[in-house]
Structure 1
Amino acid sequence: MKKLLLGLTASALLLTAASAQAADQLTLQLKWVTQAQFAGYIVAKEKGFYSDADLDITIAPGGPNVAPEQVIAGGGADIIVDWMGGALAAREKGVALVNIAQPFKRSGLMMICPTETGITSEADFPGHTLGVWFFGNEYPFFAWMNKLGLDTAEGGDVTVLQQSFDIQPMIQGQADCISVMTYNEYGQALDAGYGPDNLTIFNYTDMGNDLLEDGLYVMEDTLEDPAKVDAYTRFVKASMMGWEYALENPEEAAQIVVDSDDTGGAELAHQLYMVGEVSKLVDATDPALDMATYERTVKALLDQSIITAEPEGGFTTVVTDGL
């Protein structure tokens, strides 16, 4: 009997070990620091949606010195959150990124100009300094300027300032207009006393100039492995559960984000504001890529020579078809 019990115990331990090893390990590289822009993924991890899907997910925060395309190319991540402009530009340069899902359906990008600059329409841009982020975030801006026929080269129609990731260039008068995200820097502008009454606001989505943001990308060769595709599919499904939960429970989601930020930089009120604004951009029920927006994004990138040829294989529906 003792030997039987020992045998059963050993078998149970083996089964437990096998079960523990069953979870597929994936690393998700965020495009920016830990904040509610990524609430769906952070909530999915905290609420156990990934573990329920037999996934062991590591979420790696980004920052001003982190390029997700380089991280995944170097083997530091399995999946990245990226804007399509940066992803397709990297693909053309040899980093074979493929979009597997697109939770963000609309752009959160805007340009804001204090009324004292005298800028009330696009026609007023010439002769002014316009701030924009770089590191792949500049592509929508340059596509817009190209559409307007404005020369952005040195000495051209407008002066382009590579701005910091805050509203200081506007406050300090370094730029007449600056780039903001509806869910982040625009909130900072509101806190600083700016708003629709003293700003001219150019919303990329409202103008029809929005390019796809915050999609999920993997390396093309990994899609040849059915087991990897299965893991990606479970990841996207669990992530969308995270997004749905976050948007339905904004206060809890904001607190989860704050608690997940190891730097201590995430502030609760701002994260709650961010969840509310992100909810206007994300479709928590449909992670599929919208082809009309994809084609508009590609055309804008081609027109600006950000990419030089129509991309082939830049997206796949194999994951979202399997949900």
Structure 2
Amino acid sequence: MKSSLSLYFNMLCHPLLIICLMLGIGCLPLWEAALAANLEKVVFIPQWLPQAQFAGYYMAHEKGFYRQHGLAVEIRRGGPHSCAAECVQNFQADFGTMFLTAGIEKRAQGIGIINIAQIVQKSGLLLVSQKKHGILRPQDLMGKRVGLWAGDFQIQPRLFFHKYNLFVKIIPMGEGVNLFLRQGLDATSAMRYNEYHLLLNSGLNPEELTVFDMAEHGFDFPEDGIYCLEETWRRHPSRCRAFVAASLAGWRYAFAHPEETLDIVMRYVTEAHIKTNRVHQKWMLAQLQELIEPPGKAIPMGLLVPQTYRQVAQELQNYLLIKTIPPYEEFYRDCQSDVEKR
């Protein structure tokens, strides 16, 4: 990937621009065509459908940060029918997002996935129940119906059950909180930035709810990170650094300009026919900022803290979810440094 100065020089030397300059023509479309000709095309897929959880990437695209870093980025929709991890693994996408636990598990299985930026530094995963059902502490969940999503969303709750020696009836969950509201569950999974807010909007008050925050019970596992194949890093390290740099710029812009960001987010969700509203997406963006830039923690955006990585990997190994812990130096690449850490 070319530096900004090199990219600019190459654009100036593009044949189309040379012709325009020789003829004394100021031709904006040709300038844009020359710029596009020098951009590297990449595909990015987040792990879920459009929402403020991915606002930083939308803003990096809309504000031209990716183009400024020499990239033409196609943002595809993730979700239940387009698994981001599988798309990256199968060369259908250059970059994707996934939970840290998912990345570690895949690496431990021998899949050449690497983390090039840890975006979300804290866990937002909750188990929520109603106090009127007598559930006030972990032990009160014994024998209860607990709704869990599939895949990596089950890891922390299952570790939570193991810690407190709980035997519960696990009920597979889909989207939303209707099953819980209709008394089909005694406790439901919820992300603090999403389903918890839906519960509050349904008419439940915080004081009516018992919230088991996975982070507060010893399972504060960082979530969304940017991943690619090790082969992608080996062949295109500058491209990886450029994608990370532009994405981080997008997140910083999103937090600094929330209303403009919400305009963009609402456009994305409308195009995808997602049922939501601006109030909910505003809550989500604010909650994401606290998870990405945790108050009281001076963690540079995008850094995977070695100690945190080893703690999460150790928990996965302790509960036999992985056999061996992938070395930190093989799992993570510091894309904000000019020199790769080894």
Same fold (TM over 0.5): yes
1:277 aligned to 2:287? yes
AA aligned opposite 1:244: R
Question: Would the aligned equivalents of 2:88 and 2:95 in 1 still touch at CA under 8 Å?
Answer: yes
Letter in 2 for 1:257: V
Q: Secondary structure at the match of 1:138?
A: helix
1:267 aligns with 2:298: no
Q: 1:316 and 1:90, CA in 2 relative to 1: closer, same or farther beyond 3 A?
A: closer
1:216-295 matched pairs, under 5 angstroms: 216-225=226-235, 228-261=236-269, 262-265=271-274, 266-283=276-293, 285-295=300-310
Shift of 1:240: 1.0
Aligned Cα RMSD in Å? 2.3
Q: What residue in structure 2 maps to residue 204 of structure 1?
A: 214
Q: Which runs of 5+ in 1 are unaligned?
A: 1-5, 151-156
Query: For residue 87 of structure 1, what is the amino acid of its counterpart?
Result: G
Q: How many residues align?
A: 310
Of residues 193-202 and 17-26 in structure 1, the stretch that sits farther from structure 2 once superposed is: 17-26
Q: Which runs of 4+ in 1 moved over 3 A?
A: 10-19
| Matching of residue 311 in structure 1 with residue 293 in structure 2 | no
Displacement of 1:118 in angstroms is: 0.9
Partner of 2:225: 215
Residue by residue over 1:257-302, the C-alpha shift from the partner in whole angstroms, topping out at 9 and shown as x without a partner, is 1112322324222111111111111139521101222122112211
- 1:168-179 equivalence runs, <5 A: 168-179=178-189
C-alpha distance in 1, partners of 2:32/2:127? 54
TM-score by length of structure 1 reads: 0.89
CA pair 89-294 structure 1, distance change in 2 beyond 3 A: same
Q: Is the 8 A contact 1:187 1:273 kept in 2?
A: yes
Deviations 1:15-72 (A, max 9, x none): 9765422212111111110000011111111111111111111111111233212111
Using the alignment, how far apart are the partners of 1:120 and 1:167 within structure 2? 20
Distance 1:253 1:21 in 2: 28
Gaps of at least 5 residues in structure 2 are: 1-15, 294-298
Identity %: 29
What secondary structure, in the 3-state scheme, does the structure 2 residue paired with 1:320 have? coil
- What secondary structure does 2:321 align onto? coil
Q: 1:187 to 1:290 in 2, by over 3 A?
A: same
Match of 1:134 among 147, 150, 156: 150
Change (3 A) 1:8 1:57: closer
Residue 27 in 1 paired to residue 43 in 2? yes
Residues 99 and 316 of structure 1 are in contact (CA less than 8 Å); yes or no, is this contact kept in structure 2?
yes
CA distance in 2 between partners of 1:7 and 1:160 (Å): 64
Aligned counterpart, 1:125: 141
Structure 1 counterpart of 2:83: 67
Determine if contact 1:32/1:64 at 8 Å carries over to the other structure.
yes
CA distance in 2, matches of 1:158, 1:264: 36
State the one-letter code of the partner of 1:165: E
| Equivalent residue letter for 1:203 | D
- SS of match in other structure, 2:174: coil
Per-residue deviation, residues 218-266 of structure 1 (Å, max 9, x unmatched): 10122222xx111111111111111111112211111111112322324
Seen in structure 2, the aligned counterparts of structure 1 residues 304 and 66 have a Cα distance that, compared at 3 Å, is farther
Q: Secondary structure at the match of 1:137?
A: helix
Structure-2 change in CA distance of 1:314 and 1:205 (3 Å): farther
Kept after mapping to 2: 8 A contact 1:143/1:303: no
Paired residues of 1:67 and 1:135 also in contact (CA < 8 A): no
8 Å contact from structure 2 (residues 145, 185) kept in 1: yes
Residue 140 of structure 1 aligns to a residue in which SS? Answer: helix
Q: Distance in 2 between the 1:264 and 1:99 partners?
A: 31
- Return the structure number with greater helix share: 2
Counterpart Cα distance in 2 of 1:304 and 1:79: 29
3-state DSSP of counterpart to 1:308:
coil
Q: Is the 8 A contact 1:106 1:213 kept in 2?
A: yes
Q: Show the 5 A alignment for 1:23-62.
A: 23-62=39-78
Q: In 2, Cα distance between the equivalents of 1:65 and 1:57?
A: 21
Once residues 8 and 79 of structure 1 are traced to their aligned partners in structure 2, the CA distance between those partners, rounded to angstroms, is 35
**Residue 153 of structure 1: aligned partner:** none
